Structure formats: C-alpha cells, structure tokens
C-alpha cells in the first residue's frame, strides 16, 4: 500500500523513553510549521510515495537547524 499523505509523529522525552504526544497527517510538507512549533521534541516523518528530492532537502534543512527528525521513507 502506498502512502498518499505525509505522516508526522511527535514525541517528548519521558524518563529513558520517548512518549508519543501527537500524530498528524497532511498533504504537503509546507505544513512543516507543526514541526517548528514543537521545537525541543523528537519527530518521525513518514514520506508519501509522491515525495520529491526538494521535500527531503526541506526536512534535512530542519534537521541541520537542530530539530530531532527521523525520516521514514516509503517501503
């Protein structure tokens, strides 16, 4: 099954583990303001089948700015 929307999981540090705080599904990586609003949290981003190289660059740029982002590719 191919993923059609971007998926985002937001985690917060709780003791020695990360606790899931919220999940979001959205159509465009332009919705990355959800990540920016939650600085200090950890994220898992699930890319959809239609993700472009520029979308990945956007996520890598956020990671380079200090955001804790794990990228999960289709497959």
pLDDT in tens, 14-72: 777 789 999 988 888 766 677 888 888 999 999 998 889 998 898 999 899 999 999 98
Q: Is the pLDDT reported for residue 2 higher than 90?
A: no
Q: What is the pTM of this model?
A: 0.77
- For the chain, what are the domain ranges? 6-72
Mean pLDDT of 10-15: 84
Sorting pLDDT into bands at 50, 70 and 90, what band is 11?
A: very high
Q: What is the number of alpha carbons within 13 Å of residue 18 lying toward its C-beta? A: 13
């Amino acid at each position: 099954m191919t993923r059609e929307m971007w998926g985002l999981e937001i985690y917060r540090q709780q003791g020695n583990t990360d606790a899931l705080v919220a999940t979001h599904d959205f159509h465009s990586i332009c919705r990355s303001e959800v990540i920016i609003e939650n600085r200090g949290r950890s994220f898992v981003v699930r890319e959809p089948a239609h993700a472009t190289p520029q979308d990945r660059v956007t996520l890598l740029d956020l990671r380079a700015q200090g955001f804790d982002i794990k990228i999960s590719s289709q497959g």
